Amino acid sequence: MTKTSNENLSFTGLNILPSILSQLQKLGFNKPTPIQQQTIPIAITGQDLMGIAQTGTGKTMAFGIPMIQRLFHNKGTGLVLLPTRELAAQVDQSLKALGGTFGLRTAIIIGGTAIGPQTRALANRPHIIIATPGRLIDHLSKKRSILGNVKILVLDEADRMLDMGFEPDIKKILATIPTGQRQTMLFSATMPERITRLAKNYMRSPLRVEVAPAGTTLASITQEVFIVSQAQKLSLLNELLAEYGQRVLIFSRTKHGAKKITSSINAMGYPAAEIHSNKSLMQRTKALKDFKSGLTRVLVATDIASRGIDVQDIELVINYDLPDNPEDYVHRIGRTGRAGKNGKAISFAAPEQKRDIFTIEKLIRTRLPIRSLPKMDKIIVAPKEAPRKRGFGNRTRPSNNFHSKKRRHQPFKRDWRKNI
């Protein structure tokens, strides 16, 4: 694999068809992003490639433009696999905007919606299928021939799909797609060993494209850590929300935690909404729409649900809980500091999580400064709620620690994944 250079400064030098260039101009795309500059000329030739780039760097058009252009000239279907339904919906919207005037037909195959209309959309012979792995497996179990004509495959947010336990589904899907003339493009924010192994087994001499060194974060993001007890977190959060008046994105490890944090923030007087897998697609879409419009300025999310969040001008990302693995830290803070603007990321860590901080620092090759706690005049206590049921044998949850021997970081169950 090789690393390409960044030379082109406009779409006109990327071997794009004039009709597509015209549509790009109508949509307001005048200058390609770095990942687009490097990816499009390679992808148009049909070459397999691996793109290493953060969310929000323009990956959709980086693979969407070559895919649509190649499907103009070659019979066949394109398939885009993504981790969440929100991200799938955004990609579907973007591809329709670019190719709709040329008669492009898409089929979006995601959980949380009726399967009947999806079956009819597949029967309509779409040019591009946009899908989450779990729901696509459901369709394959009923009719195995739907992917027999796929000529272009895109694995977007590949690292996140593997983190969510989709690797078995992805392998099943790949096994149903003919390998003859298939072009495969893989995009990921990080490049762990599992991704490299997947590429070796299912791709043909892919070129490697990087817009930043693997394992690093954007230089425009200022990162800080507070060493804080669980009892102090809400009070510290109240101070930070008073200090930062623009859009704030907060990450919680669990759905229950996200719900509790959101209730507390609303009680503080700040409009907040939550996104996690217990929310329906309609509820998640509304929460994201309100956050984009400014109706709510604080959004609380879990890692699983956050992959569809593509919002400009997020001033601050707060890791209320440290993530389950250091790679998720990279995904989380990449939501701020976009489009050449500066951003800030603040993490809350318990005293016993210092080793976890070191693991993050090792991955991102950056020292995270420890910030002293501010004077907190107002003590915030979480709203009272009904006691939670304990698990089998009265067991409690394991500690939030990357290195705990009892981490519950196993692949999710199939019946859950199909609803993503």
pLDDT in tens, 140-199: 988 767 899 999 999 999 988 988 889 999 999 999 998 888 999 999 987 888 999 999
Tokens describing residue 324: 């389950």
Q: Report angle CA 216, 222, 225 to the nearest 5 degrees.
A: 95
Same domain as 340, residue 269? yes
pLDDT at 8 over 50: no
Residues above pLDDT 90, as percent of the chain: 59
Sheet with 49-52, strands from edge to edge, namely 106-109, 128-131, 77-81, 150-155, 183-188, 49-52, 207-210
> In this structure, are 201 and 241 located in the same domain?
no
CATH code for the domain in which residue 381 is found = 3.40.50.300
Range of the domain at 230: 221-394
pLDDT in tens, 267-315: 999 999 999 888 887 888 899 889 999 999 999 999 876 666 778 889 9
State the total domains in the chain: 2
Helix, strand, coil percent values for the chain (each to nearest 5): 40, 15, 40
Is residue 417 domain-resident? Answer: no
Q: Is residue 2 part of a domain?
A: no
| 147 and 296 belong to one structural domain | no
Domain finish residue from 210, 232, 252: 210
**Is the confidence at residue 418, as pLDDT, over 60?**
no
What is the spatial distance between Cα 214 and Cα 104, in angstroms, rounded to a whole number? 34
Taking only the tens place, the pLDDT of each residue in 189-241 is 878 889 999 999 999 999 999 876 544 456 789 999 999 999 999 999 999 99
